[in-house]
Copies of this chain bind each other. A is one copy, B any other.
Amino acid sequence: MSLPGVGVFGTGSTARVLVPLLKAEGFEVHALWGRSEEEACCLAKELSIPFHTSRSDDVLLHQDVDLVCIYIPPSMTRQIAVKALGIGKNVVCEKAATAVDSFKMVTAARYYPQLLSIMGNTLRFLPAFVAMRQLLVEGYVGDIQVCDVRVYGPSLLDQSYGWTCEELMGGGGLHTVGSAIIDLLSYLTGARAHRVHGLLRTFVQQNGLIRGIRRVTSDDFCFFQMLMGGTRSSSGGVCCTVTLNFNMPGSFVHEVMVVGSTGRLVARGTELYGQRNGSKGEELLLSDSGWVGPEVKEMPLPHLRGLSSMVKALRQSFQAHEERRSWARGPVAMAPTFEDGLYVQTVVEAVKRSSCSGEWECVEIMSQEPDPNHNLCEALQRNKN
């Protein structure tokens, strides 16, 4: 029984938390990639990782690396993830920047079904949401009617100008936090959004550090609705409403409520509460036993605990087999697949479209890659006439 060696991409706050969590579960982290030698060197020293580099192949081809964890800016994710699978490595990664990128990742994952490929989306693993889903399946709330989510917190922008400021680079509340919520709601309800409506705003376009000709384009306020499931039921299925506000320094609110015909469940932070119709008050269904891992300012507790639970599940998955590259599906069965990642990205883009058009937008999952020569063909067609 031996765990796979790990290579980590990224030097941001998630990578910084992930490495100690991996080590605590018995994984050996052999290699670290950073965008610059300097960043990589600095974090590798801090976390005692024997090898660091700024060249991705050096990690992907590293002989001791069997599992690659990719926590880098969204615009770079697809390239590394697809290459890692091609080289035969198991992959845990963060979301990509576009649906086209997500689709390419799905194609690669389908091509290598024997390799582990999951989205490092962490909320599904949070014990409160695992318990919530179980109770929903058991009928605690009856027929699900409404999901109501709100996440409030301080600015998501980095200290300096970078991808977090740029909507097209995958920055903003919707892409960063909303995508985790979109995934979570489909996990909880067992349904997918078919129509969405949204409104995005950038209230703070400049600050003390981002000024002059530079301007933030990513959203700091986002508000969207999703109509889930089929249109079978007369009332139109489940309505989800999500409010994200990152203009609230000094606060962190993370509340997920599911209301049904016979009761409701609410996860506040990492704790789960419930109330059945007819009962006098809320009951505490799952308390937070206290977090003993590292405290991270940039990372809210639900994400931190979820990440920790995911690493535990990874350990169980790989422990199930003798061979260090082999893994068992059971412990990671609830993890979001790359297909789930494509769904989430498709919803994100539909919400953005809706914010521009002002209309309800359909969620249509890409089934084949858009032809890169599409525009060229059109131009040729026009010339013929």
Contacts and interface: CB of A to CB of B under 8 A. Distances in A.
Contacts of A221: 145-146, 239
A208 to B, nearest CB: 13
A89 to B, nearest CB: 44
B239 A145 contact: no
Contacts of A225: 199, 223
A243 B148 CA distance: 9
Contact of A247 (B202, B205, B261, B280): B261
Interface in A243-285: 243, 245, 247-251, 259, 261, 264, 275, 277-281
Nearest to A150: B148
Contacts of A281: 250
A250 B280 contact: yes
Given A202-B235, A225-B223, A148 B264 contact: no
Interface in A180-225: 197, 199, 201-205, 221, 223, 225
B250 A275 contact: yes
The A contact surface, by secondary structure, is loop
A358 interface: yes
A274 B169 CA distance: 35
A236 to B, nearest CB: 7
A127 to B, nearest CB: 24
Contacts of A275: 250-251
A247 B262 CA distance: 9
A241 interface: yes
Nearest to A154: B277
Interface in A103-120: none
A223 B245 contact: no
A360 interface: yes
A322 interface: no
Given A223-B225, A225-B199, A225-B223, A248 B239 contact: no
A148 B239 contact: no
Contacts of A148: 150, 243, 245
A280 B252 CA distance: 11
Contacts of A248: 259, 264
A360 B205 CA distance: 25
Interface string A62-89: 0000000000000000000000000000
Nearest to A359: B359
Contacts of A146: 203, 221, 245, 247
16 contacts: A145-B247, A146-B221, A146-B245, A146-B247, A148-B243, A197-B358, A199-B225, A203-B235, A205-B235, A221-B239, A223-B239, A247-B259, A248-B264, A249-B277, A249-B278, A250-B280
